[in-house]
Amino acid sequence: MTVTALLDGPGAEVLAAACADYHPGRELQLVEKLRRRYDATLVTTAVTQAALRHRAVTKFGPDASRMFFTPDGLEQSTRTTVSTHRAARIAAAPIGTMVDLGCGIGGDLIVMARAGLRVTGVERDPETAAAARANLAAFGLPGEVLVGDAETTDLTPYDMVFADPARRADGRRVFDHNAYSPPWSFVLEVLKRTACVKVAPGIPHDAIPDGVEAEWISDAGEVKEAALWSGELSTGGSRRATLLPSGVTVTDAPDADTGPVGQYIYEPDGAVVRAGLVTAVAAAVDGWLLDHRIAYVTAAKYVPTPLASAYEVLEELPYKEKALRSWVRTQGIGTLEIKKRGVDLDPAQLRKKLSPKGSASATLIITRIGRDAVAYSCRRITS
């Protein structure tokens, strides 16, 4: 039974009841309660939908309570903060009509329609397409959703193409862009038009075609995606890092020197790192790199920057388990944050070995300078 069974009549009634009484971990009790009044299959569909709406709040906020989902559609959808940023950029260009190839449950269609674009979604899975239609209707938004294949869709009627290739196979995440569906060859053809293609943050820089802009986006410090912009939407082949919710963006990466650790270490935002713009942080804080291969910046003074987290260096420590365990014990450290780059270690395993049990808090930064691993006792700057 699909989401269409929940749109009206008894289906809408049981869905409302399921959402009103839903509590994580108590699904079986809810199913038993609702089966006294409603068809068993309808109840199962409604409770599943209520569970998906509960999970979707982290991505869609209050909108989740009115939306319809499939499990895969929710997993693959973009959180609203990111899609809103993208839609605003598209709406600012001379774009009127757009087609979303592989639109999923229609999360991007909703945001783009709200931005004033005339939207069409194409989705090959009929149930997921039904959810996308229901979601546009739930918010009274215009647009259409067609069941079809991205590779055979006629793109000529549209000012721009948005594509979100599937990056999962057999339930597992796909990291190789050559394993996308539709295939990378199709993506390259789409990028010859005015288009935006959502890709994984690990996309190799050398895979990005000339003249196509690549934008890496983080939200609340967590890298969410990369987007490739072409045609009227491209700024000319640059690499960009955008940090949400502030909207701060950086494109320029001047040269930076390397040198010994200063009073402060800066950890660039993940989007800045993925975009290869770490030296922009060095320029922002009047600093330098600890090692030209490692994404840590250091400086003599503290300069607030939205591009990086800052840590005051308190002490350099030997990178030896015995010495680190002694440091934890003598400092009375109970809460230990471990940051690492360029070294092969599992922070959780190291934390377990160091056995922090005191009342103090500290940050341990472990990295590599040249051939040597080094450790620094630090204090995170929170202001």
**Model confidence pLDDT, tens digit, residues 61-103:** 999 999 999 998 998 899 999 999 999 999 999 999 999 999 9
Residue 171 has pLDDT above 80, yes or no: no
pLDDT on residue 173: 64
CB atoms within 10 A of CB 283: 18
Mean pLDDT of the chain: 93
Question: Is the alpha carbon torsion for 83, 86, 91, 95 positive or negative?
Answer: negative
Mean pLDDT of 20-31: 93
Q: Where are the alpha helices (DSSP H) in the chain?
A: 9-21, 27-34, 40-60, 71-76, 80-91, 107-114, 126-138, 184-190, 270-274, 278-285, 321-330, 347-354
Interatomic CA distance for residues 3 and 145, integer angstroms: 15
Interatomic CA distance for residues 141 and 235, integer angstroms: 30
**Model confidence pLDDT, tens digit, residues 109-118:** 999 999 999 9
pLDDT on residue 167: 66
pLDDT on residue 165: 87
In DSSP terms, 249 is beta-bridged to: 242
Name the residue with higher pLDDT: 235 or 268: 268
pLDDT class of 172 with cuts at 50, 70, 90: low
**Model confidence pLDDT, tens digit, residues 302-317:** 999 999 999 999 999 9
In the chain, how long is the greatest CA-to-CA distance? 72
pLDDT class of 253 with cuts at 50, 70, 90: confident
pLDDT class of 213 with cuts at 50, 70, 90: very high
Residues 6+ apart with CB under 8 A from 265: 290, 296, 297, 298, 310, 311, 313, 365, 376, 378
pLDDT class of 335 with cuts at 50, 70, 90: very high
Interatomic CA distance for residues 363 and 327, integer angstroms: 12
pLDDT class of 236 with cuts at 50, 70, 90: confident
Question: What share of the chain has pLDDT > 70, as a percent?
Answer: 97
What region does 221 belong to: left with phi over 0, alpha with psi -120 to 50, or beta?
left
pLDDT on residue 174: 61
Tell me, rounded to whole angstroms, the distance of Cα 145 from its chain centroid. Answer: 25
Name the residue type at position 79: R
CA atoms within 13 A on the CB side of 262: 23
pLDDT on residue 100: 97
pLDDT class of 28 with cuts at 50, 70, 90: very high
Mean pLDDT of 350-355: 94
pLDDT on residue 3: 86
